[in-house]
Amino acid sequence: MDKRWLTRGALVAAVLIILGAAVFVFGQFKPFGDESIDRSQPAMLKSVRDLSQYHAAAGEFQVVLDIENDVKWVPAALAGERTLFVAAGSVNAYVDLGSMKDDGLVLSPDRKTVELRLPKPQLDKPNLHHDRSYVFSQERGLINDLQALAGPPDQQRFYVAAEAKLTEAAKQSEILKRAEDNTRVMLTGMLQSLGFQVKVAGD
The torsion defined by the Cα of 73, 78, 80 and 86, in degrees rounded to 10, comes to 150
CA 147 to chain centre: 49
For residue 133, give the 3-state DSSP assignment: coil
Residue type, 160: V
Poorest-confidence range of 54-68, 106-120, 148-162? 148-162
Neighbours of 26 (CB within 10 A): 12
Over residues 25-49, the mean pLDDT reads 51
> Of 192, 166, 174, 186, nearest to 54 (Cα)?
186
Give the residue-averaged pLDDT of 80-88: 83
Residue 7 or residue 124, greater confidence:
124
**pLDDT value for 99:** 84
Quickly state the pLDDT bin for 175 (edges 50, 70, 90): very high
Cα–Cα–Cα angle for 124, 185, 188, rounded to 5 degrees: 120
Q: At what angle do helices 156-172 and 175-193 cross, to 10 degrees?
A: 60
Closest CA to 161 of 137, 132, 136, 126: 126
Percent pLDDT > 90 in the chain is: 28
Q: Which carries the bigger pLDDT value, residue 177 or residue 48?
A: 177
Region for residue 33 given its phi and psi (left: phi exceeds 0; alpha: psi -120 to 50; beta: otherwise):
left
Q: How far apart are CA 21 and CA 38, in angstroms?
A: 30
| 80-96/134-140 β-pairing | antiparallel
Position with higher pLDDT, 50 vs 23? 50
166 has a pLDDT exceeding 90: yes
Mean pLDDT score, 114-135: 91
pTM: 0.65
> Is residue 34 over pLDDT 90?
no
**Helices vs strands, H then E, count in the chain:** 5, 8
pLDDT band at 177 (very low <50, low <70, confident <90, very high): very high
Confidence of residue 6 (pLDDT cuts 50, 70, 90): very low
Mean pLDDT of 6-29: 48
In the three-class reduction of DSSP (H, G, I as helix; E, B as strand; rest coil), residue 57 is classed as strand
